[in-house]
Amino acid sequence: MPHETTATIISIGDELLIGQTINTNAGWIGMQLGLVGVRTKRVVTIGDERQEILDALAEAETDMVLITGGLGPTKDDITKHTLCEFFGTNLEKHPEIEASILAFFTSVGREPLEVNRAQADLPASCIVIPNTRGTASGMWFETAKQQAPTAKAKVYVSMPGVPAEMKRMMLDTVLPEIQRSFKPPHIVHRTILTTGMGESHLAQRIENWEDSLAMERIKLAYLPSPGIVKLRLSAYAEADPDAAIQRINGKVEKLHLLISDLIFGEGEQRMQQVVGDLLKAHGQTLSLAESCTGGYVSHLITSEPGSSAYYTGGVVSYANAVKMEELGIPSDMLELNGAVSKPVAEQMATGVRTALRTDWSVAITGIAGPDGGTPEKPVGTVWIAVAGPDGVESRCEHFIGTRGAVIQRSALSSLDMLRKRLLAQG
């Protein structure tokens, strides 16, 4: 394995520590660095405090340090002054930056304040990184050119904390410059999405396959989220990126043979997107009848742009009266079996498919909790039915967890059941 290039991310801002703002910048930067082969070793989040910033700068022992936040025009934004102190330099007015700040204010029809003009005062020893989205410039410090006895990294980069400004600056300037300066080894990734089996059981099922990855110098990560386990394979590209891609592809092929029943997609795909794409490919339509999921499956489906091409709508039949009147469930069927039962789920599916005249329909009825469970049908009991051109099928599931978790898993499981039916029709 080639020498690793490593990074520390320092996120500055009181609002991050008190939970007022969630630190999404650090994760985004870490992902971007990973894509160009730089490993983020540590993220340090601190407040707008001089000593905290100095400590964090001095502690970092990675090749580079990327800093965000504390560059605003107000008094509590002290990053710039603290960087001057750390690097033994002074602020100096950058006339070309001042001109661009004035132009920015003219373009939005406002007068700049003195604090805005002061944003053109930047450390003398840094290379200024232009900000095309705002008035806080970025700064690139090469340690070799600084008076910074405690600096251990080769490069320090300071960027604004506003996500849109930071991202533009990273993509346009910082990432290309990192690749030029550090020539990090290229890393190749593939992420396989699975559902229907928990992390531990999945690990057991693919144990031999996992053991075989080391020989191909492939690393595996399990990334679990409710109802889903993502498997991320990565390998250093070394001299020949194609060879690394082929090594990974070979292993993914084998994985498909092992757990084809669990894999539903790849990369950034969402289950509702996979299902939507299949419906589009077949020119087919979908309707929904939801009881315990209360509209959540419909929400997932319609969160995809363009879903009106295949989704006509649905019925949320929370009350039994709605199940009877809108979906044609006979009252004696409800009395005999209860609302959470195979015949009711199947009748919900065929009822909504007929009423809305769609090719496919999915119905879900269950007990999301925390109340409503019985010894025979405890909280988490969910019947799912899928009706299509070739008939109706149903399944009973037992989910664990909070009301929210039961709803989420029911939705995922019902969409996966539909996905398999869509695939099975050929």
Between 274 and 339, name the residue whose CB sits nearer to a second copy: 339
Which residue of 4, 21, 175, 354 would you call a contact of a second copy, by CB under 8 A?
Answer: 21
CA distance 69 to 66: 10
Q: Should residue 73 be labelled a site residue for a second copy when binding is judged by CB under 8 A?
A: yes
- 62 by Cβ neighbours in 10 Å (0-12 / 13-18 / 19+) ranks as buried
Q: Should residue 20 be labelled a site residue for a second copy when binding is judged by CB under 8 A?
A: yes
CA distance 237 to 244: 5
Q: Should residue 405 be labelled a site residue for a second copy when binding is judged by CB under 8 A?
A: yes
Between 126 and 289, name the residue whose CB sits nearer to a second copy: 289
Q: Should residue 252 be labelled a site residue for a second copy when binding is judged by CB under 8 A?
A: no
Return phi, psi of residue 402, to 5°: -70, 170
Between 7 and 151, name the residue whose CB sits nearer to a second copy: 7
Q: Should residue 151 be labelled a site residue for a second copy when binding is judged by CB under 8 A?
A: no
Q: Should residue 302 be labelled a site residue for a second copy when binding is judged by CB under 8 A?
A: yes
Between 50 and 145, name the residue whose CB sits nearer to a second copy: 50
Which residue of 127, 175, 252, 355 would you call a contact of a second copy, by CB under 8 A?
Answer: 355
Which residue of 5, 12, 37, 44 would you call a contact of a second copy, by CB under 8 A?
Answer: 44
Q: Should residue 23 be labelled a site residue for a second copy when binding is judged by CB under 8 A?
A: yes
Residues 6 or more apart in contact with residue 13 via CB below 8 angstroms? 21, 45, 47, 48, 69, 70, 161
Which residue of 78, 252, 322, 324 would you call a contact of a second copy, by CB under 8 A?
Answer: 322
Q: Which stretch binds a second copy (CB under 8 A): 11-19, 79-87, 123-131, 144-152?
A: 11-19
Tell which positions 112-131 bind a second copy, by CB under 8 A: 113, 115-116
Q: Should residue 167 be labelled a site residue for a second copy when binding is judged by CB under 8 A?
A: no
Return phi, psi of residue 220, to 5°: -120, 135
Least Cβ distance, residue 426 to a second copy (angstroms): 27
CA distance 94 to 125: 12
Q: Should residue 294 be labelled a site residue for a second copy when binding is judged by CB under 8 A?
A: yes
Which residue of 370, 374, 391, 425 would you call a contact of a second copy, by CB under 8 A?
Answer: 370
Q: Should residue 321 be labelled a site residue for a second copy when binding is judged by CB under 8 A?
A: yes
Q: Hey, how many other C-beta atoms are within 10 angstroms of the C-beta on 284?
A: 16
CA distance 150 to 342: 69
Are 94 and 124 in contact by the 8 Å Cβ rule? The answer is: no
Between 305 and 426, name the residue whose CB sits nearer to a second copy: 305
Least Cβ distance, residue 311 to a second copy (angstroms): 5
Q: Should residue 200 be labelled a site residue for a second copy when binding is judged by CB under 8 A?
A: yes
User: Parallel, antiparallel, or unpaired: how do β-strands 286-290 and 219-225 relate?
Assistant: unpaired
Q: Which stretch binds a second copy (CB under 8 A): 94-102, 293-301, 341-349, 386-394?
A: 293-301
CA distance 420 to 113: 61
DSSP annotation of 160 = -
Task: Provide the β-strand partners of residue 184.
Answer: none
Q: Should residue 46 be labelled a site residue for a second copy when binding is judged by CB under 8 A?
A: yes
> What is the SS3 assignment for 166-202?
HHHHHHHHHHHHHHHHHCCCCEEEEEEEEECCCHHHH
Helix (H) or strand (E) holding 14: helix 14-17
Q: Should residue 270 be labelled a site residue for a second copy when binding is judged by CB under 8 A?
A: no
- Applying CB under 8 A, what is the total number of residues that bind a second copy? 97
Which residue of 365, 369, 394, 410 would you call a contact of a second copy, by CB under 8 A?
Answer: 369
